[in-house]
Amino acid sequence: MIENDRVSHAYLLYGDRGLGKKTAAKYMAASILCQDRKKAPCGECRNCKRILNGTHPDVITLSPSGKSGNFKAEDDLRPICSDAYVAPNDGDRKIYIIPDFDKTLPPAQNILLKVVEEPPEQTVFIFTASSKSGIIPTIRSRVMPFAVSNVSEDECRQALFEKGFEQSQINEAAEAFAHNIGRCVEYIESQALRESVIAAKKTADAVVSGDEYAILRELTALGQDRAQIKTALELFGEILCDAAVLKSGAGCFFSCGKESAKKLAGAFSLSKLSKIYSAVCECASRIDSNAFAPLALTSLCAQIKSEV
């Protein structure tokens, strides 16, 4: 599209957390504004260097002001509706990178509908999201979507090696998130994520054993940290997804608990795995909506116990 001068006015990069959507968005911005059209992005011209350093005046990366990482309608998004019509400072295009847009509530997303539907000729929007379904249909129908894929384990290990991590750290991270470079980096650098991984795997094993109290014990072991509890629930949900995929006859694993997924697949039917997964997602949503975490987890344990 760039080579044929047919750049779209809006893109959506979607895929799991940690796959490099924000990095890809910056790469796309550099490609669009690169001064060497034959090598875009060359990484060496003035525009490329400023974009990679985050100092280009015409590449605006929004930061959400909401406590949950969401964009607020009036504080974050409304100003774009007028600023988008202002001519670029130093080039022929102005690019807005809006990360994790699916965290934003639909009414706030709707603020951008008109400017995305009828954008100024010089303006390009690059949205990122974990899932297309988190974007309201009216905006989703007006962007060009690109799925960001998982990498191979070898590619992941090579990337971690190039970042300077020790081999022992690489081995441990790859065991947990072999197809996701960003999650591997986070795993190495964040004790909280490592604890959430342990809790998710122990919870899965407790479900297999049918021990309701062990399930509750593993989840409440994370204390009152709502974000950490939610992460553990999401990781447990991913293990359940792997179990369901395995139960269906496929053998790819993308969660942090391969062995736990195998045990779940051997212990439960696809229908029961689906019901447990739905209960886990509901619990994570309730905690995200400020529900009392211990009560939400107790309710989840009761739901799981009724299935096992």
User: Is residue 1 a part of any domain in this protein?
Assistant: no
One domain, residues 125 and 196: no
pTM metric for this prediction: 0.83
One domain, residues 300 and 197: yes
Are the beta carbons of 53 and 65 closer than 8 angstroms? no
One domain, residues 143 and 257: no
Residue by residue, pLDDT tens for the chain (308 residues) are: 888 888 899 999 999 889 999 999 999 999 999 998 888 899 999 999 999 999 999 999 999 987 777 899 999 999 999 999 999 998 789 999 999 999 999 999 999 999 999 889 899 999 999 999 999 999 999 999 999 998 999 999 999 999 999 999 999 999 999 899 999 999 999 999 999 999 999 999 999 998 888 888 888 887 778 889 999 999 999 999 999 999 888 776 778 889 999 999 999 999 999 999 999 999 998 988 888 888 999 899 888 888 77
User: Is residue 3 a part of any domain in this protein?
Assistant: no
- Measure the CA–CA gap between 109 and 129, rounded to whole angstroms: 13
One domain, residues 134 and 168: no
One domain, residues 183 and 195: no
User: Is residue 60 a part of any domain in this protein?
Assistant: yes
User: Is residue 66 a part of any domain in this protein?
Assistant: yes
Q: Where are the alpha helices (DSSP H) in the chain?
A: 21-33, 46-53, 78-83, 106-109, 113-117, 137-140, 153-162, 167-177, 181-189, 191-209, 212-220, 226-247, 258-267, 270-288, 293-307
**CA Rg value for the chain:** 22
User: Is residue 107 a part of any domain in this protein?
Assistant: yes
State the total domains in the chain: 3
One domain, residues 167 and 201: no
Longest CA pairwise span in the chain (Å): 63
Residue with tokens 């490609």: 31
Are the beta carbons of 215 and 231 closer than 8 angstroms? no
Contact residues for 230 (Cβ-Cβ < 8 A; gap 6+): 284, 287, 288
Q: Length of the chain, please?
A: 308
Where residue 268 sits, what CATH number does that domain have? Answer: 1.20.272.10
User: Is residue 20 a part of any domain in this protein?
Assistant: yes
User: Is residue 4 a part of any domain in this protein?
Assistant: no
User: Is residue 91 a part of any domain in this protein?
Assistant: yes
Q: In Å, what is the CA distance from 2 to each residue of 9, 39, 40, 91, 147?
A: 12, 11, 9, 15, 19
One domain, residues 168 and 246: no
One domain, residues 167 and 270: no
One domain, residues 198 and 181: no
One domain, residues 123 and 205: no
Which range of residues forms the domain containing residue 298?
Answer: 191-307
Where residue 114 sits, what CATH number does that domain have? Answer: 3.40.50.300
- Measure the CA–CA gap between 290 and 19, rounded to whole angstroms: 28
Torsion of CA 152, 155, 156, 158, to 10 degrees: 160
Sequential DSSP letters for 285-297: HHHHTT--HHHHH
- Measure the CA–CA gap between 232 and 230, rounded to whole angstroms: 5
Residue with tokens 């441990």: 172
Asked which of 189, 218, 247 is the last residue of a domain, the reply is 189
One domain, residues 141 and 14: yes
CA neighbor of 148 nearest in space, from 28, 65, 68, 252: 28
- DSSP 8-class letter at 103: G
Q: How many CA atoms lie within 13 A of 206 on its CB side?
A: 19
pLDDT at 245: 93
Token couple for 71: 């964009």
Token couple for 102: 């699916």
One domain, residues 142 and 166: no
